[in-house]
Amino acid sequence: MLEVKNLHANINGKEILKGINLEIKAGEVHAIMGPNGSGKSTLASVIAGKEDFEVTEGSVVLNGEDLSDFAPEVRAHKGVFLSFQYPIEIPGVTVTNFIKTAINETRKAKGMAELPAKEMLQLIREKADLLEIDRKFLSRSLNEGFSGGEKKRNEIFQMAMLEPQLAILDETDSGLDIDALKVVANGVNKLKSEKNAVLLITHYQRLLDYIVPDFVHVLYNGKIVKSGGKELAYELEEKGYDWLK
């Protein structure tokens, strides 16, 4: 599904990604771990198409199609979803209106008609229940005044609504207490299928107890230095990152 080939990326002339190779097949869960500043969030942003980064070499290919020239919204339409580490507050736009706009813009891009209001409402309710989100919450301004946990839960709610092929979860576990983590993980697990894939980006092995990865990669200084199965996460938890340097 996703092939990242020899990906190099700069920001303000400074090279952050120094040749990343990664292949994710449908139905798989991959985890990327690594110390602070290793380039984890950069990798997520580059796949999602953030324009601040300049791709100097290599490519990101989704279902055989090179995404390099596509704007972030086009990537989203093609099935990429990025759950933000720090979701942005948008005062004046409610959660409901935001997700409605996102869904209908995505449908428009695919040449589909807008989702009828009744079906939209039904879908919103169903997915809100999945994430144990209070209905009242949906009429609040997006992320404004949300707690860390509420923001992350809301990210996964949007993911549930948009049903992406590739979901990249950037430190979705940070700022979550154990109960919220379980709800979020449960949501992600329920959304997982043979047709989609998940890329988890995390510091800690904790999240991986709840969303079990098929592969774990260690990112260090802009490169993947080691890959393995889920047992690699435990090894990292025990030994830290130093032994890989």
Partner 1 sequence: MELKEKLVSSFLAFENKGNIDLDSSVHALRLKAIHNFEKDGFPTKRDEEWKYTSLNPLLKYDFSLFPNAEKSVGFKNIEAYLINDIESYTLIFIDGVFSSFMSETTHEDCDVCVLSSALARPKYKMVIDNYLNTITNKNNSLSELNTAFVKEGAFINIPKNTIVPKPIQIINFSTGSEKEVLLQPRNLIVVGENSHVQIIERHQNLSKNTTLTNSVTEIFVHKRAIVDYYKIQNDTNESSLIDSTFISQKQQSVASVNTFSFGGKITRNNLEFYHEGEDITSNLNGISILNDKQHVDNHTLVNHKFPNCESHELYKGIYADKSVGVFNGKVIVQQDAQKTNAFQQNNSILIDDGATINSKPQLEIFADDVKCSHGCTIGQLDESALFYMQSRGIPKKEAKALLLYAFGNDVVEKIKIPQLKALISKLIAKKLNVQLGFEL
Q: Please report, as ranges, the residues that interact with partner 1 according to CB under 8 A.
A: 48-52, 71-73, 75-77, 80-82, 84, 87-88, 90-93, 97-106, 109, 114, 141, 158, 162
Helices then strands (H, E): number in the chain? 7, 12
Instruction: For partner 1, give the closer residue by CB, 118 or 245.
Output: 118
Minimal distance, residue 165 CB to partner 1, in Å:
13
Enumerate long-range contacts of 103-112, CB under 8 Å, 24 or more apart: 103/161, 103/162, 105/73, 106/76, 106/77, 106/162, 109/73, 109/74, 109/77, 110/77
Q: How far is the CB of 148 from partner 1 (least distance, A)?
A: 16
CB of 109 to partner 1, least distance (A): 7
Among residues 172 and 205, whose Cβ is nearest to partner 1?
172
The helix (run of H) or strand (run of E) holding residue 91 is strand 90-94
| Cβ distance to partner 1 smaller for residue 81 or 215 | 81
Least distance to partner 1 from the beta carbon of 9, Å? 15
Question: Which amino acid is residue 92, in one-letter code?
Answer: G
Q: Between 148-162 and 178-191, two packed helices, what is the crossing angle to 10 degrees?
A: 10
The two tokens of residue 175 are: 């700022």
Nearer to partner 1, 19 or 87 (CB): 87
